[in-house]
Structure 1
């Protein structure tokens, strides 16, 4: 029997102001008490004004909008369709948007984009991402730009200005301090290029006996180790380095792809019949959250011993019960790709978005830009018909806007 992973009680992040691009401070914020007189009686040295004398009022300073007020303002300013669009992460070419992709981002105002293919170096990427920001900004809310920058065979951004990142199996042999320092350097390059999120690290544990048969992770050398302890150490160090650089991260692919054979991008019917709720192999996800990860990514695999009726990405048991309940996560939950992935091809595109949000998720990764409008429309239609779903959608948008605000992507007037 596997030892249950310890539950993590997360402290809410205190944000000091609207659009603050600095690193959030853990723990509740404290506001010093104002120094006010405790009595309305005049002192012996202060003359009492006569009825004909009117004291000059002291100007009251205008308070800066709080983080919460900022998000409230933005939520109220967005139409339902604009809110729904904040939950879709549309795939675009890393080298720059095609005309079709630009039309989608500009017309639908996708809340996020993620980069596919390869780029042409840091300077070229920075120019391309400036165009994305221009196309996707709405009412002072800029799009979140993400990339898969793990290393090894999974590195989207390459060329001049980007280090060639080794595979996680190599990173896992380094000391924690070295990996943190290297990840900070890689993160700095992403930030210079205009990328806010690294859709990494992989927190999946691949048993040594399964490595050669594990298509999505083991065969590609994406794992930090073959035990929960080894994987946890790499995940923590990577997350800390990226956070030091001001780049958001996403631990993936909850509750783990280390025990499956098929790759859900290319295969359907992928099943894990071993992993259980509270499994020891979930520890790297908890450690990544503790280290400051910004998102938790959910896999599209079906876990028969957790929820045999639903893929994890559509499972309230996985998202609400395990991620938000067992791990105590209150931040953004994101899908693995549900746009082009073979695993979900049989599910109507609109349902992929609505079922994920209904299960408690927030951002839907959609590699097929042409499906964005369909997904947005489905979210709107469901919210118009179901008040409970509408409330969930609003909660999801609030979490997304809060993440954006933490990275300086929300401007309040």
Structure 2
């Protein structure tokens, strides 16, 4: 039986022939480091093993559905299911929110949010002032955010270049992806492993990287979220895929979870979704060759796939990607065969979603098939949790989706050693 990635490749060949610089208060994966950043049911992710698509021409029809993934080990499923049963509905909903906090340590207001809401994840914003300071901050987060033996994900944007949040004593200065791309794959993997070990020592368990977006040469200077910040690994799918694969493999060796981003790609847009609304891609299609780096990340063993907040008119003109069942269920879970955690780009502080009611940003994402909601504004966390609980109480179908999402999150947490059974 063909693997999911092989099916993508077959479709691209037969038919013949993708946010971020963060706002000063925005969430992960988006701005120069001098500013604060912006960025079913199976229980384990499927990681295809065949070569991702090489064609440079987009497909115009969706690939066929992937084969069913293998079942999880009984021990893992048993532990996750046991933990899931102990959580109240509100505690389950909280597992799906990643709350932004200061990397230098939680403010009193942020501490109240993490303690009272029991956010399942946090993302470190701003600079921490070195590895030792970061370790102190993450220890406090773990203490405040642990619920019933389930510890929080603690994430950071540690790409390199202008997007390196954690710096100072104990952290290497990481070059931009455009520099990393000039290294051999073995060197990049080794360097990523070293950077990952430093994150591990600091108490960080998730790197919201690497960028899998392909930026064409002709758009380099006009592409605000990626090209202008040198965040891309290449201007062709094959070049970008090589860098993504090597980075993910290195972080995996260090025990750090990764998130390939920003599906289905921000390399062809002009505006930055952190600063601008109405960011649109009128080119990318389902089965596009520029999706190859995402497939490479999945194949290499990424832990999450991050979804863009831009709108892709040739895929789903009615919904931003982050709220699109076509993008999440059809393309990520269907075409890529991904059964693991799907995460948003920031939907807390980003200008692109400012017009969307806060609660809807969480419920629409989960309803579309997603799992973890990044919220760079901690003051919005309670509203998002409330909305998820209310929708689950009123809508049995949504309640089942929420449970599936929590199961995927807990499965990944167990893989990372964050669940005690």
TM-score above 0.5, yes or no = yes
Conserved in 2, the CA contact under 8 Å of 1:5 and 1:279? no
User: Once superposed, what is the RMSD of the aligned Cα atoms?
Assistant: 1.9
1:308 equivalent in alignment to 2:364: no
CA distance in 1, matches of 2:155, 2:219: 30
1:167 equivalent in alignment to 2:176: yes
Which segments of 5 or more consecutive residues in structure 2 lack a partner in the other structure? Answer: 1-56
CA distance in 2, matches of 1:11, 1:92: 40
CA distance in 1, matches of 2:120, 2:402: 14
- After superposition, what is the alpha-carbon deviation per residue over 1:21-66, rounded to whole angstroms, capped at 9, x for unaligned? xxxxxxxxxxxxxxxxxxxxxxxxxxxxxxxxxxxxxxxxxxxx81
Q: Secondary structure at the match of 1:213?
A: coil
Q: Which runs of 4+ in 1 moved over 4 A?
A: 3-17
Conserved in 1, the CA contact under 8 Å of 2:62 and 2:286? no
- After superposition, what is the alpha-carbon deviation per residue over 1:271-310, rounded to whole angstroms, capped at 9, x for unaligned? 0000000000000000000000000000000000000000
CA distance in 2, matches of 1:213, 1:351: 31
Conserved in 1, the CA contact under 8 Å of 2:261 and 2:308? yes
CA distance in 2, matches of 1:409, 1:349: 29
2:265 is matched with which residue? 256
CA distance in 2, matches of 1:102, 1:11: 44
Alpha-carbon spacing, 1:118–1:12, altered in 2? closer, same or farther (3 Å): farther
Conserved in 1, the CA contact under 8 Å of 2:245 and 2:296? yes
Structure 1 position 385, deviation (Å):
0.4
CA distance in 2, matches of 1:91, 1:73: 29
1:406 is matched with which residue? 415
1:364 equivalent in alignment to 2:373: yes
Structure 1 window deviating more from structure 2 (384-393 vs 1-10): it is 1-10
- After superposition, what is the alpha-carbon deviation per residue over 1:145-201, rounded to whole angstroms, capped at 9, x for unaligned? 000000000001000000000000000011000000000000000011110000000
CA distance in 2, matches of 1:11, 1:144: 30
Q: Secondary structure at the match of 1:262?
A: coil
Q: Could you tell me which of 380, 392, 395 is aligned with 2:404? A: 395
Conserved in 1, the CA contact under 8 Å of 2:189 and 2:249? yes
Q: Could you tell me which of 55, 58, 71 is aligned with 1:2? A: 58
Q: Could you tell me which of 352, 359, 363 is aligned with 2:361? A: 352
Q: Secondary structure at the match of 2:374?
A: strand
Conserved in 2, the CA contact under 8 Å of 1:6 and 1:283? no
CA distance in 2, matches of 1:323, 1:277: 10
CA distance in 2, matches of 1:79, 1:100: 24
Conserved in 1, the CA contact under 8 Å of 2:66 and 2:334? no
CA distance in 2, matches of 1:275, 1:368: 30
CA distance in 2, matches of 1:275, 1:202: 17
Conserved in 2, the CA contact under 8 Å of 1:8 and 1:327? no
Structure 1 position 2, deviation (Å):
2.6
CA distance in 1, matches of 2:68, 2:255: 18
Q: Could you tell me which of 223, 229, 232 is aligned with 2:232? A: 223
Q: TM-score under structure 1 normalisation?
A: 0.86
- After superposition, what is the alpha-carbon deviation per residue over 1:95-115, rounded to whole angstroms, capped at 9, x for unaligned? 111110010000000000001
2:282 is matched with which residue? 273
1:199 equivalent in alignment to 2:208: yes
1:91 is matched with which residue? 100
CA distance in 1, matches of 2:206, 2:61: 27
Structure of greater relative contact order (alpha carbons < 8 Å, 6+ residues apart): 2
Find the structure with the greater CA-based Rg: 1
CA distance in 1, matches of 2:151, 2:194: 24
CA distance in 1, matches of 2:328, 2:235: 25
CA distance in 2, matches of 1:183, 1:6: 34
CA distance in 2, matches of 1:227, 1:2: 13
1:293 is matched with which residue? 302
Structure 1 window deviating more from structure 2 (167-176 vs 6-15): it is 6-15
Alpha-carbon spacing, 1:373–1:164, altered in 2? closer, same or farther (3 Å): same
1:373 equivalent in alignment to 2:410: no
Q: Secondary structure at the match of 2:101?
A: strand
Conserved in 2, the CA contact under 8 Å of 1:148 and 1:154? yes
Q: Secondary structure at the match of 1:66?
A: helix
CA distance in 1, matches of 2:337, 2:130: 39
Structure 1 position 320, deviation (Å):
0.2
1:186 is matched with which residue? 195
1:119 is matched with which residue? 128
Q: TM-score under structure 2 normalisation?
A: 0.84
Conserved in 2, the CA contact under 8 Å of 1:5 and 1:280? no
Q: Secondary structure at the match of 2:334?
A: helix
Residue pairs, 1:320-339, within 5 angstroms:
320-339=329-348
Which segments of 5 or more consecutive residues in structure 1 lack a partner in the other structure? Answer: 18-64
Structure 1 position 124, deviation (Å):
1.1
